[in-house]
């Protein structure tokens, strides 16, 4: 028998090649999704709180789609930034609303090389900024909102969206949207349920990005950060309602919820590394406090390790480029 120490785990850490061989988790471009904002204005707009990310226009969007497809990433998630908003979010269901137009442009530009995904929520389209319509007392009316979501789903499917991201956190939203799509004969449309979406401070920069008009908060529909069990319940309900994919959001502060959902879910589980997670790392790096590139890879790998099959991240293109660089450096690049 061997003598002390019996176990020398450091053997497997002795060289880059050895470490690569025993790596339990890897990142791949195909499992990354890039969120893209599209403004109704004529010029792209920089987003101060998400450095390096801008609002695209319908004219600049095709180049982004092509760059994303060239990078081999799995898809883009579109968000519309309309100029005009009203109480019921009319722009969300009009075929000429900015998001529906963007979907058409992206579907065209992608030519099937990546999946076109769209945010299905009313917050960018309502003048009060809530994710649903309001009742007479100013509260978010769950069931009236479901009707708006159903109409929005049809509009997005008609425009060419292949995956709809249900991010509004209304009860029964997956069933309502699935029912409407089925009734319209659109059984092909994939539903990505933002099942465990928490009422998070980390959405701050995003609200800037979409010029949110919200006064107050979303605590009556998004999850309480104190609750993990409830996040798992939401995922279970969405799967029963017909979700094809479920998601946890934000990602980094909710890795326990992600791991729990990933353990039990029979459908793919994704995670959204949100704007605040991105902005924190960029700010810390800009302040010279951390190594930016390593922090990015570590943050995304952590989300992967916790169980995310795919990850929405504003660094998707940069990470895809770095993965390709790494493969080239090792001479292991696979020719497509």
Q: Is 281 a catalytic residue?
A: no
Token pair in block for residue 332: 């292991």
**Nearest C-alpha neighbor of 68 from the set 313, 332, 244:** 313
Options 54, 101, 148, 197, the catalytic residue: 197
The answer to whether 282 contacts ligand PBG (rule: CB under 6 A) is no
Q: Cα separation of 220 and 139, whole Å? A: 9
Strand pairing category for 190-197 and 269-272:
unpaired
Query: Where does this chain touch ligand PBG (CB under 6 A) — which range of 26-34, 61-69, 141-149, 202-210?
Result: 202-210
**Residue from 167, 195, 265, 299 that binds ligand PBG (CB under 6 A)?**
167
> For residue 109, what are its two tokens?
């530009």
d(CA 287, CA 151): 46
Polymer length of the chain: 336
Least distance between ligand PBG and beta carbon 328 (Å): 30
Residues 33-92 that bind ligand PBG (CB under 6 A): none
**Quick one: which of 129, 130, 172, 128 has its CA closest to 150?**
172
CA–CA gap between residue 46 and residue 165 (Å, rounded): 24
* 203 binds ligand PBG per the rule CB under 6 A: yes
Q: How many residues bind ligand PBG (CB under 6 A)?
A: 9
What sign does the dihedral 50-256-240-170 (CA atoms) show? negative
Compute the distance between CA of residue 70 and CA of residue 102 in angstroms, rounded to an integer: 19
- Confirm or reject binding of residue 234 to ligand PBG (CB under 6 A): no
**Single residue of 37, 206, 221, 270 touching ligand PBG by CB under 6 A:** 206
310: three-class secondary structure by DSSP: strand
User: Which residues in the 308-327 window bind ligand PBG by CB under 6 A?
Assistant: none
Interacting residue with ligand PBG among 119, 234, 238, 282 (CB under 6 A): 119
Q: Minimum Å distance from CB 103 to ligand PBG?
A: 15
C-alpha dihedral over 32, 194, 45, 303, to 10 degrees?
Answer: -40
User: Residue 275, interface with ligand PBG (CB under 6 A)?
Assistant: yes
* Binding status of residue 193 toward ligand PBG by CB under 6 A: no
215: left (phi over 0), alpha (psi -120 to 50) or beta: beta
Q: Segment contacting ligand PBG (CB under 6 A): 61-69, 116-124, 258-266, 293-301? A: 116-124
Within 120-139, the residues that bind ligand PBG by CB under 6 A are 121, 123
CA distance 203 to 209: 10
Least separation, in Å, of the C-beta of 112 and ligand PBG? 25
| Residue from 249, 274, 300, 316 carrying the catalytic annotation | 249
Which residue from 170, 255, 274, 303 is in contact with ligand PBG, where contact means CB under 6 A? 274
Give the residue with the Cβ less far from ligand PBG, 149 or 206. 206
Q: Is 197 one of the catalytic residues?
A: yes
**Secondary structure letter of residue 114 according to DSSP:** S
| Residues with active-site annotation | 197, 249
Q: Which positions touch ligand PBG (CB under 6 A)?
A: 119, 121, 123, 167, 203, 206-207, 274-275
């Amino acid at each position: 028998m061997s003598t002390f120490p019996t176990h020398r785990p450091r053997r497997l850490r002795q060289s880059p090649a050895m470490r690569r061989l025993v790596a339990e988790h890897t990142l791949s471009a195909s499992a990354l999704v890039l969120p893209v904002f599209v403004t109704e204005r004529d010029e792209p707009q920089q987003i101060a709180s998400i450095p390096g990310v801008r609002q695209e226009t319908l004219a600049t969007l095709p180049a982004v789609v092509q760059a994303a497809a060239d990078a081999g990433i799995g898809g883009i998630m579109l968000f519309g930034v309309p100029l005009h908003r009203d109480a019921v979010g009319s722009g969300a269901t009009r075929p000429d609303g900015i998001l529906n137009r963007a979907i058409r442009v992206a579907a065209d530009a992608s030519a099937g090389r990546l999946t076109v995904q769209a945010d299905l929520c009313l917050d960018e389209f309502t003048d009060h900024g809530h994710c649903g319509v309001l009742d007479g007392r100013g509260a978010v009316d769950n069931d009236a909102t479901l009707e708006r979501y159903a109409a929005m789903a049809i509009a997005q499917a008609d425009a060419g969206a292949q995956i709809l991201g249900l991010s509004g956190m209304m009860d029964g939203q997956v069933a309502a949207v699935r029912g409407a799509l089925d009734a319209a004969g659109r059984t092909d449309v994939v539903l990505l349920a933002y099942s465990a979406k928490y009422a998070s401070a980390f959405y701050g920069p995003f609200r800037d990005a979409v010029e949110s008009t919200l006064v107050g908060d979303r605590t009556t529909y998004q999850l309480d950060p104190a609750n993990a069990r409830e996040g798992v319940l939401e995922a279970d309900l969405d799967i029963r309602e017909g979700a094809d994919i479920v998601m946890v959001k934000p990602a980094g502060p909710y890795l326990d919820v992600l791991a729990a959902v990933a353990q039990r879910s029979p459908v793919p589980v994704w995670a959204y590394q949100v704007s605040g997670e991105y902005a924190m790392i960029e700010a810390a790096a800009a302040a010279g406090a951390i190594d930016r590139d390593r922090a990015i890879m570590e943050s995304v790998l952590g989300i992967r390790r916790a169980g995310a099959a795919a990850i929405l991240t504003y660094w998707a293109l940069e990470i895809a480029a770095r993965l390709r660089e790494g493969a080239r450096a090792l001479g292991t690049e696979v020719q497509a």
